[in-house]
Amino acid sequence: MERIQLFQGDITQMHVDAIVNAANKSLLGGGGVDGAIHRTAGPRLLEECRKLKGCETGEAKITGAYKLPCRFVIHTVGPVWYGGEIGEAELLANAYRNSLKLARDHQLKTIAFPNISTGVYHFPKDKAAQIAIRTVREFLSNNALPETVTFCVYDDENRTIYQDLLKHEA
């Protein structure tokens, strides 16, 4: 089976080993996918997140998943887009890479990513998708775990972008 998969829908309903949360540095919840994950997981996720004392941009931390159907949540913080001149691309790549490292180090086989930074943080969707796919492909070529990575797109624009990039850059 292809090690990179594409799925359109709600990441909170995915039965994978870990879903990735596009969080903020506080790790104390927010809107977008972060809000959806905390709503579905229930209040014990926030309790565990409080103990983590936040997370730097580009870093990642792992928690339990509580009422979510997955086993773990990997919380990462993507960069806010300020025009692309202050290292946003590298920080976004770090967010993907550090999430993948955590999954590997916990022996996780399946992981799903939302389109980190492309909502409230305004990273251009096409650029973000290129970075996401390049970073995941490079990691998978050097690591046996995770076995499969699913890009969970939510909006149609991201779906089209990912379909095109995954087709043409295989």
Q: State the residues that interact with ligand AR6 by CB under 6 A.
A: 10-12, 22-24, 30-34, 36, 78, 114-121, 152, 154-155, 158
Cα-based distances in Å from 98 to 56, 62, 91, 104, 145: 11, 11, 10, 10, 13
Placement of tokens 């997140």 in the chain: 49
For ligand AR6, which is the closer residue by CB, 108 or 129? Answer: 129
Catalytic residue among 34, 105, 126, 156: 34
Q: How far is the CB of 88 from ligand AR6 (least distance, A)?
A: 12
Let me know: does 139 contact 97? Beta carbons within 8 Å: yes
Closest CB to ligand AR6 among 32 and 54?
Answer: 32
Query: Which token pair is 24?
Result: 């903020």
Is the bond preceding residue 146 a cis peptide, omega within 30 degrees? yes
Residue 165 Cβ vs ligand AR6, minimum distance, rounded to whole Å = 15
Instruction: Check if 34 is active-site.
Output: yes
Catalytic residues: 34
